[in-house]
Each structure stands twice: as C-alpha cells, then as structure tokens.
C-alpha cells in the first residue's frame, strides 16, 4: 500500500512538473552585432574627442556616428534586395545613442530591428519559439547575415556582443528551475569566461565579485532551500545582496543601465517593480555570450540552454539538487584548457547533446585540445578528421585571424597530399572588417619562416598564404 501510494505521488508530481511549461514554447530573443573598420575608426575618433574635452561627464555614452547610420541603412536596403516581399520602415532618433530604429518586416510577420550601439550595428528580432528555431535561423542566415556580408560588415571578436534573452515566464512559474539554472551557470564559469564568452569586467561572473558578495550568494541559496520564496523575491535578493548595493528607492527603467544590469546573467527585467516594460517583455539576459558568427551558432546556443533546462528539470524531479561550488576565482582563471574542455564535454553529454556539433563554438585557442579530442574520439579516417578540423576552424572561432593562424600552424603538420583538398575547405577571410591589418601581419610572419631549414614547409604553407592573401 505504501509503495503504491509513493508511486502515485511520484507520477503525479512528474506530470504536474512536466506540464508546467512546455520548453518547446520557450522564447529566445537575439541581440546580434555587426561592425567594420570604418565604423570602428569613427567611433575611436569620437572617443578621443570626448576624452580630450574638459566638459565630458563620467559615464557619458558616445553618440552614434555617421558611418554607423549609413551602414545600418545599407544593411536594411540589402535585406530588401534579398527579400523583395519584406517591408522596411525607418525612424530616426538623431539625439539618442541608438540614432535610428529600422524595422524589417518579413511576409510571415517576423521582424528584425536594426539600431546602433557604440561601435556596432545591433540587430534584435521578434522573440523566437524553440519549435520555430531552425526555420527562423535559416531565414536569418539567408537574409540578415548574407546582407551583412554583402555590405562589408560582420560580427567581430572583442566588439559588441551576442546577448540572448530567455523568456522569463518559464522562471516566474518555476522558481526551483530559476534557482537551479543560476547555480548551474555559477558552477560552470568556464562557459562564461572561456567557452562561449570571455572574461569581462563589464559583465562579470559572480565569482569575480568580492568575497562578501559570494558569501551573500551562498546565503541566498541556503535561505531559498530552507524556506522557499517567489521568483520575484529571489531576483530582488540576488540584485540587492549580490549584484549591487541595496536598490534605489527610485528605480526607473530609463535609468537601469547601471551595475544592476552588467553581470554575466542580467535579471533586471525580472525585477517585479521595474517600470517601462510589460509582463511579456520580462526576460533573463545572457550577456556573457560572444557575437554569433552566423545564424547556426545562434541556433546551437539556444538549443544548448533549452536542453540544459530539460536536464535541470529532470534532475530536480529525481531529487538531486546542485549546490554552489566553493571553487575560488583564482582557481577558475588558472584552470588548464584540458580541464575546461572536459567540463564542457560533460556539460553537453549530461544535456543529451552531441559534442561533435558543439566543438565549432569553441574559440581557436582551444583547437589544439579539440584536435586531440577529435583524434581520440572520432571514428572517421584521418583525412576526414582533418577536414572536420578545418571546417570548424572556419566556422567556430569568432576571430578569423586567430583561426587563420591555427590553420597555418596545423598545415605544417599535415602531409602535402592532403593540402589541396583541405585548402578547398577554407573560407577564412577578414570580411572587410577591423581584422585586415592583423591578417596581413600574420601572413608576413609566415612568409618569414626560414624555408631553407625544411623545403617541404614552403610547399605546404605557400598555398595557404596565397589563399588568405587572395581573400583580403
């Protein structure tokens, strides 16, 4: 009798918990960024003017540049050429930092919004349900990313961002999942500062905050686990005790670009009393993400977090609750690349995702470790393994120059017989962006290799150098 009763309770809880929110309905909001050397140079000049001005105020944001406005309008016009049935509406807000808002409406009512952020063009979109992700990302790749390439702009390593918003209604309905997600990301800082993002003083992980803030975080989790609270209460406590000083009495939305916002995970829009947004505009923002190089990368990252949420939900149903790690920040930043890659692979396999698909999200500095992983875990032929490495090298690193450097170095290790086949796989280029000069310097470095030491090196490297030079 007791066993039957227990089984009934378990089944009932599983049904209730699983039906609480269908993760296929989870909404994702992209913030894609594009730039080039022209926009960046104009931004730097404006910055120098402000820095040299005695009247400049602390925290002053640089206004838009003429170059940025022009490229944003060029981007919209190019999208219109590709998508003849799309409509384009432009609103100019010259006094503001964003300067303009261009709405591109597709025939199926999907919309993208082109604005400006300092040094980049920022593109947001209608929230995308997970079930529609593949269809919409194909649309974005064929229109937005192709148009950006055509007008000479692209995502850039170290500039802008690839922030993604998650629909907060999921977490407002399930505070346990919100708590588990925050702790899970806390316990995987390698995702934020190495794998999917880079160390940021503007959007830090909690471990990079003071010892007092970290202690407050541990106390918040203990307090939640012992007494429970609503998601709104959890967010308030997180912001008040961990993210910053106690909240101001007057906390208007237009003043919210403060230290409350600038954290790896921004929960500002989940604050109950925030003004200026509607309930369906509440989101959790993943600010730590690098710019996505293409729409497929955006899709992969969305899939990663959707599947991770599924894993966390199942784990809590099984009675397994994760607690925050006590690993100190100094230890985190001194981890080996092998350690970080192994943790990433475990993160993926726990989430029931194939690591092969996600190696392409790693930055090029991890590619020596990636090659070792490919050699030891792939059953492909050696040539197929090398082709795969070249494929993800052109797609994955957010820095095309670093990727070119890696491929050139690996070329010295690969036999001449595979060179023509491998080079045909390459598509590394600076895209007319800020990396032109660095790529030229890289080519010069490899041209200076003392070939007389090994004449075979020259026959291997020269085709690669010719390829990269051609694409400048």
Average pLDDT over residues 377-386: 86
Neighbours of 417 (CB within 10 A): 8
Average pLDDT over residues 99-112: 92
Q: What are the φ and ψ backbone dihedral angles of 240, each rounded to 5 degrees? A: -70, -45
pLDDT score, position 293: 87
Q: Please check the confidence at residue 174 and state whether its pLDDT lies above 60.
A: yes
Q: Binning pLDDT at 50, 70 and 90, where does residue 9 land?
A: very low
Average pLDDT over residues 244-248: 50
CA distance 162 to 123: 10
pLDDT score, position 412: 54
Q: Please check the confidence at residue 370 and state whether its pLDDT lies above 60.
A: yes
Return the percentage of the chain with pLDDT > 90, whole number. 50
Predicted model pTM: 0.83
pLDDT single digits (tens) 436-470: 455 555 555 555 544 433 444 455 455 555 554 55
Long-range contacts of 283-286 (CB under 8 A, 24+ apart): 283/29, 283/165, 283/166, 283/167, 283/168, 284/165, 284/166, 284/168, 284/171, 285/163, 285/164, 285/165, 285/166, 286/163, 286/164, 286/165, 286/166
């Amino acid at each position: 009798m007791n066993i039957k009763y227990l089984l009934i309770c378990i089944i009932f809880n599983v049904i209730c918990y699983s039906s609480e929110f269908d993760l296929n309905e989870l909404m994702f909001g992209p913030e894609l960024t594009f730039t080039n050397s022209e926009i960046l140079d104009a931004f730097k000049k404006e910055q120098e003017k402000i820095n040299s001005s005695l009247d400049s105020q602390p925290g002053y944001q640089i206004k838009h540049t003429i170059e940025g406005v022009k490229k944003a309008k060029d981007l919209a016009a190019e999208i219109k050429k590709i998508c003849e049935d799309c409509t384009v509406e432009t609103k100019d807000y010259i006094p503001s930092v964003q300067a303009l808002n261009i709405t591109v409406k597709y025939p199926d009512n999907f919309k993208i919004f082109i604005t400006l952020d300092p040094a980049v063009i920022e593109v947001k979109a209608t929230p995308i349900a997970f079930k529609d992700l593949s269809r919409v990302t194909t649309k974005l790749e064929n229109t937005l990313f192709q148009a950006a390439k055509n007008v000479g702009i692209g995502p850039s390593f170290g500039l802008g961002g690839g922030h993604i918003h998650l629909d907060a209604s999921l977490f407002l309905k399930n505070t346990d999942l919100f708590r588990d997600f925050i702790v899970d990301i806390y316990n995987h800082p390698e995702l934020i500062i190495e794998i999917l993002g880079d160390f940021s003083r503007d959007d830090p992980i909690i471990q990079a905050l003071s010892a007092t803030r970290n202690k407050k975080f541990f106390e918040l989790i203990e307090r939640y686990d012992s007494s429970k609270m609503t998601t709104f209460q959890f967010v308030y406590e997180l912001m008040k005790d961990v993210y910053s000083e106690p909240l101001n009495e007057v906390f208007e939305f237009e003043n919210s670009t403060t230290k409350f916002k600038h954290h790896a995970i921004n929960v500002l829009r989940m604050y109950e009393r925030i003004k200026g947004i509607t309930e369906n505009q509440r989101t959790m923002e993943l600010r730590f993400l690098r710019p996505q190089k293409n729409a497929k990368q955006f899709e992969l990252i969305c899939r990663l977090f959707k599947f991770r949420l599924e894993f966390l939900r199942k784990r809590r149903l099984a009675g397994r609750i994760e607690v925050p790690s006590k690993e100190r920040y100094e230890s985190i930043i001194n981890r080996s690349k092998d350690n970080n890659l192994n943790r990433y692979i475990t993160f993926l396999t726990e989430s029931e995702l194939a690591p092969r698909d996600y190696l392409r999200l790693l930055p090029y500095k991890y590619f020596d470790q990636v090659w070792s992983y490919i050699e030891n875990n792939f059953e492909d032929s050696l040539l197929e393994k090398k082709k795969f490495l070249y494929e993800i090298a052109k797609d994955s690193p957010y820095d095309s120059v670093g990727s070119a450097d890696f491929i050139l170095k690996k070329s010295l290790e690969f036999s001449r017989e595979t060179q023509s086949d491998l080079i045909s796989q390459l598509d590394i280029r600076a895209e007319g962006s800020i990396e032109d000069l660095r790529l030229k310097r890289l080519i010069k470095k490899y041209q200076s290799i003392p070939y007389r030491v090994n004449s075979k090196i020259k026959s291997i490297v020269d085709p690669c150098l010719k390829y990269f030079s051609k694409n400048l």
